[in-house]
A and B are shown apart, each in its own frame.
Chain A
């Protein structure tokens, strides 16, 4: 079956512009995460969606970052007025959700964002 897909794979944008990054989770996975990975670093949690529940936005670094998930499937991460420090790889993951909470996460290939 298809894994998690993300688009675009690469995005170069000018400082101050807005960008949208897309994530298509594995079919049937109700839990979806966004992470950010700066060069040579670990992954930084950004936001979590589970079904129809209100998203956990506690990891978003500023109000320039927002995300939505339409129909419980596809998610879009939007960064407004991009800054150079936003340059990173943005990774999406999805998982099943069980009575015990989120299960094993599967990652997409990421979107490499470069802000010039």
Chain B
């Protein structure tokens, strides 16, 4: 299967700081998504981004499909941004959707 590596595994930020989370895939993926898992366990869709760049408020994401990585940018972080961020994507064969082990973000006031 496809290996998904996320970095950093843990991140502590002061409120207002910016950060970049990275996701590397061992093989080409499609349907790449970023999720935020809140403290109650709900997975919230952030971006569907197979390629290119998207922005949504303080968050933006860039996927470079040819180099098999994606970046999630969080600007002016808030305490509500705390949680675990996952990236995931599907392989070009089969139906599996592969998740990284996540980046655990803590934003302190």
How far apart are B6's CB and chain A's nearest CB, in angstroms?
Answer: 9
Q: A59-B96, A102-B95, A106-B45 given as contacts; is B86 within 8 A of A43 (CB)?
A: yes
A109 interface contact, C-beta 8 A: yes
Size class of the A contact interface (CB-based, 8 Å): 20 to 34
A104 and B33 in contact, given A42-B101, A89-B41, A110-B41 (Cβ under 8 angstroms): yes
B94 within 8 A of A: yes
Least CB distance, A24 to chain B, in whole angstroms: 16
- Given A104-B33, A109-B41, A109-B42, the answer on whether A48 and B95 have CB atoms closer than 8 Å is yes
Query: Are B101 and A58 in touch, CB under 8 angstroms?
Result: no
- The interface of chain A, by Cβ under 8 A from chain B, is 33, 35, 41-45, 48, 50, 56, 58-59, 89, 91, 93, 100-107, 109-110, 112
A residues within 8 A CB of B69?
Answer: none
The A-contacting residues of B in range 74-109, CB under 8 angstroms, are 86, 88, 90, 94-102
| Bound-state Cα–Cα, A104 to B49, Å | 9
Chain A-chain B contacts (Cβ-Cβ < 8 Å), number = 58
Contact B33 A105 (CB under 8 A): yes
**How far apart are B33's CB and chain A's nearest CB, in angstroms?**
6
Chain B positions near chain A (C-beta within 8 angstroms): 4, 30-31, 33, 35, 40-43, 45, 48, 86, 88, 90, 94-102
| Residues of B contacting A42 in the complex (Cβ-Cβ under 8 angstroms) | 4, 86, 99-102
Q: Please state if B96 and A58 are interface contacts (CB–CB under 8 Å).
A: yes
Is A104 a contact partner of B96 (Cβ separation < 8 A)?
no
Chain A residues whose CB sits within 8 angstroms of the CB of B43 once the complex forms: 91, 93, 107
